Homo-oligomer: A and B are copies of this chain.
Amino acid sequence: MIKERLAALRNMMKRERWDAVVVPGSDPHSSEDVPSRWMLRQYMSGFTGSYGDIVVTQEHAGLWTDTRFFIQFAKELAGTEYVLHKLRVPEAEPYPDWMVRTLPNGCRVGIDGTCMSVAEVEHLKEKLSGINGTVVNKPDYINELWPDRPETPNDPIFVLSETYTGRSTADKLSWLRNELSSRNCNSMMLSSLDEIAWLLNIRSNDILFTPVTISYLLVETDKATLYTNLAKVVPEVEKFFRENGIVAKPYEEAIDAFNSLPSDARLLMDGRTMNFAMFSKGAEVLNDRLVDGISPVILEKALKNDVEIAGFRKAYLKDGIAQTKFFKWLEETLASGACPTEMDAADKMASLRREQENYLEESFAPITAIGENAALPHYQPTHEVCSTIVPKGLYLLDSGGQYLEGTTDITRTVPVGPLTELERIDYTLVLKGTIGLSTAIFPKGTRGANIDILARIPLWKAYRNFGHGTGHGVGHVLCCHEGPQDLRQNVYDQAMHARMITSVEPGLYREGMHGVRHENMILCVEKGENEFGNWLGFETLTCTYIDPSPCVPELMTDEEKAWLNNYNRSVYTRLLPWLSEDEKLWLRSKTIDNELPVPTPTDDKWNDWD
């Protein structure tokens, strides 16, 4: 089947006089999870990994991907003519360089510019200019090759009311228009689905795990136009749109939007996220009336308002209830001698979240991993292939839910049987990192890169480290990963601001042995002002106990022990009203009855995470 598809593609290439074609792995909205309509790469190759680009010539079919997916490539593309081009290895040759080396002078390279970023295409163009090559943009060239290409979903849009968002659509639009005006613009074209959803207070089910609406949005001074599948605009949404000066038009017409703008239009687009086809069309029509700048929505969306913050607290309370039930179930199931699989456990977790009010769906594909599986950075068990949880070592569950009140993302690593000394030490060191960053105090202007080390230094002092970022922003009933803030080592000039919500999730992974990660969600809060500055700190939102029993107390300071005891005590107290007698007793045994002895009296200042 792949063979036939490649043959058809090559026929088209001959007709178009393309020496090579790029089959991208993204969608037009730089979504983290790509909707089925844009799974071009998968259609053309069968490769289901979340990262990779394909380049096809008459003689060659190659897939460029990184270390995470080498094994998956071998499994999924065996028997096809696809060749793996390794990225993130010392000898890596990205596909533009490969093209320069192998394509003839004056070559023509076909692309679908709707699924590539501006930077990506500009880079390709620059590379090809060295061999007098050109890039030919043919949006949706895949249509003629993919007869049953899925349409965009037509699930209805729903309005997320002010009860949950805390801010009306009218207010948000008015804010944006002011922002545009301050940048000497009067209109803006948006393509990031979470920005559009946040701005209009709308949600939908177009992408798994992320309740957004596939669309473009054009905001002008007197109206806003949402380009989307019109079937999604059910009557009550249409009414809501009318009240807010929003017009819905077919998704496909977005590309023509620039032509009907008034002659005095000065339009803002964010070239970092807008796809190449749309951006270059705008540049062509508007010339110097197109302003390329960072979308003001990104930062504004990250600064959660009081209602959103209260919602997040509620969502984490619900998560805490569901997780308590889950870990009790897991312990009792194992004690009864039964051994659920990793997917059984994930299903159980999802079903317990589903019991909570206002639950929508999972917020990402859970990572459910026993023992050495937890050491695989991108372990993705399936119902067909996954391990059985046996009562030995550590079990790691990274999961989350979408509730109408907020989006959750939590990782707990729990002992399910006897632990090795190394498991205990690693568990403790990672926890010290979580505590170290969660209790940070820092002046305004401090960036993620400045404080990230607080989650790492206990590991570093023991010559251990983890290879991923320490934390990411999270959307409100939106993407589980959102910017602009970040907790990682990379030097990136974005200050942490009060009202940002970020995960803190240090880990440690030992191949063939075990994996540990302790992930909480922390809210950045103001801590007052004095002669030395304006101070910020964090409040932990996550409300699920952290098991103290694997901890090696000698590796912890009294302050760290006190933090853990206080945290668990607070979790217990807050969850109490929603638990059965059995559950209360069980949680008590994990928290209050399980405290680490602290020789000195608990210092009150460590209580301020709550």
Which residues of A are interface residues toward B (Cβ below 8 A)?
439-443, 445-447, 449-454, 457, 460-461, 463-465, 489, 491-493, 511, 527-528, 530-533, 535, 557
Cα-based distance from A474 to B602 in the complex (angstroms):
44
20 A-B pairs with C-beta separation under 8 A:
A440-B457, A441-B457, A443-B465, A445-B489, A446-B489, A447-B449, A447-B489, A449-B450, A450-B450, A450-B452, A450-B453, A450-B491, A463-B530, A463-B532, A464-B532, A465-B532, A491-B491, A491-B492, A491-B493, A511-B531
Cα-based distance from A493 to B440 in the complex (angstroms):
23
Would A465 and B533 count as touching, CB distance under 8 A? yes
Looking at A439, A442, A530, the one whose CB has the most chain B CB atoms below 10 A away is A442
Would B443 and A491 count as touching, CB distance under 8 A? no
Cα-based distance from A492 to B492 in the complex (angstroms):
9
The residues of B that contact A442 with a CB separation of less than 8 Å are 453, 460
The residues of B that contact A535 with a CB separation of less than 8 Å are 460, 463
Looking at A439, A449, A463, the one whose CB has the most chain B CB atoms below 10 A away is A463
The residues of B that contact A452 with a CB separation of less than 8 Å are 450
Cα-based distance from A493 to B491 in the complex (angstroms):
6
Would A441 and B454 count as touching, CB distance under 8 A? no
In the A-B complex, the 3 residue pairs with the smallest Cβ-Cβ separation, listed nearest first, are A465-B532, A491-B491, A441-B460
A348 to chain B, nearest CB (A): 34
**Residue from the list B441, B447, B453, B460 in contact with A461, Cβ < 8 A:** B441
A594 to chain B, nearest CB (A): 25
Would A450 and B489 count as touching, CB distance under 8 A? yes
Which residue of chain B has the shortest Cβ distance to A605 in the bound complex?
A: B461
Which residue of chain B has the shortest Cβ distance to A535 in the bound complex?
A: B463
A512 to chain B, nearest CB (A): 11
Looking at A454, A492, A532, A535, the one whose CB has the most chain B CB atoms below 10 A away is A532
The residues of B that contact A464 with a CB separation of less than 8 Å are 532
Cα-based distance from A442 to B445 in the complex (angstroms):
24
Would A491 and B447 count as touching, CB distance under 8 A? yes
Cα-based distance from A108 to B63 in the complex (angstroms):
59
Would A460 and B447 count as touching, CB distance under 8 A? no
Cα-based distance from A533 to B452 in the complex (angstroms):
17
Cα-based distance from A51 to B453 in the complex (angstroms):
35
Looking at A489, A530, A535, the one whose CB has the most chain B CB atoms below 10 A away is A489
The residues of B that contact A446 with a CB separation of less than 8 Å are 489
A533 to chain B, nearest CB (A): 5
**Residue from the list B445, B447, B454, B533 in contact with A457, Cβ < 8 A:** B454
Which residue of chain B has the shortest Cβ distance to A528 in the bound complex?
A: B463
**Residue from the list B440, B457, B491 in contact with A449, Cβ < 8 A:** B491
The residues of B that contact A450 with a CB separation of less than 8 Å are 449-450, 452-453, 489, 491
Cα-based distance from A457 to B532 in the complex (angstroms):
13
A511 to chain B, nearest CB (A): 8
Would A527 and B491 count as touching, CB distance under 8 A? no
Which residue of chain B has the shortest Cβ distance to A493 in the bound complex?
A: B491
**Residue from the list B441, B449, B465 in contact with A463, Cβ < 8 A:** B441
The residues of B that contact A454 with a CB separation of less than 8 Å are 453, 457
A427 to chain B, nearest CB (A): 16
Cα-based distance from A450 to B491 in the complex (angstroms):
8
Given A457-B454, A491-B492, A491-B493 in contact, is the A527-B449 Cβ separation under 8 Å? no
Cα-based distance from A603 to B492 in the complex (angstroms):
37
Would B463 and A440 count as touching, CB distance under 8 A? no
Cα-based distance from A511 to B530 in the complex (angstroms):
13
Cα-based distance from A265 to B511 in the complex (angstroms):
54
The residues of B that contact A451 with a CB separation of less than 8 Å are 453
Which residue of chain B has the shortest Cβ distance to A494 in the bound complex?
A: B491
Would A463 and B557 count as touching, CB distance under 8 A? no
Cα-based distance from A465 to B535 in the complex (angstroms):
10
Cα-based distance from A524 to B491 in the complex (angstroms):
20
Which residue of chain B has the shortest Cβ distance to A510 in the bound complex?
A: B531
The residues of B that contact A449 with a CB separation of less than 8 Å are 447, 449-450, 491
Cα-based distance from A453 to B453 in the complex (angstroms):
8
Cα-based distance from A451 to B489 in the complex (angstroms):
10
Which residue of chain B has the shortest Cβ distance to A439 in the bound complex?
A: B461
The residues of B that contact A439 with a CB separation of less than 8 Å are 461
The residues of B that contact A445 with a CB separation of less than 8 Å are 489
Cα-based distance from A191 to B528 in the complex (angstroms):
48
Given A491-B447, A557-B557 in contact, is the A527-B463 Cβ separation under 8 Å? yes
Cα-based distance from A461 to B439 in the complex (angstroms):
9
The residues of B that contact A443 with a CB separation of less than 8 Å are 460, 465
Cα-based distance from A442 to B439 in the complex (angstroms):
21
**Residue from the list B460, B527, B532, B557 in contact with A440, Cβ < 8 A:** B460
A291 to chain B, nearest CB (A): 19
A492 to chain B, nearest CB (A): 7
Cα-based distance from A557 to B493 in the complex (angstroms):
33
A491 to chain B, nearest CB (A): 5
Question: 4 new A-B pairs (CB below 8 Å) besides A443-B460, A450-B452?
Answer: A440-B457, A451-B453, A454-B457, A491-B492
The residues of B that contact A530 with a CB separation of less than 8 Å are 463
Looking at A439, A464, A511, A528, the one whose CB has the most chain B CB atoms below 10 A away is A464
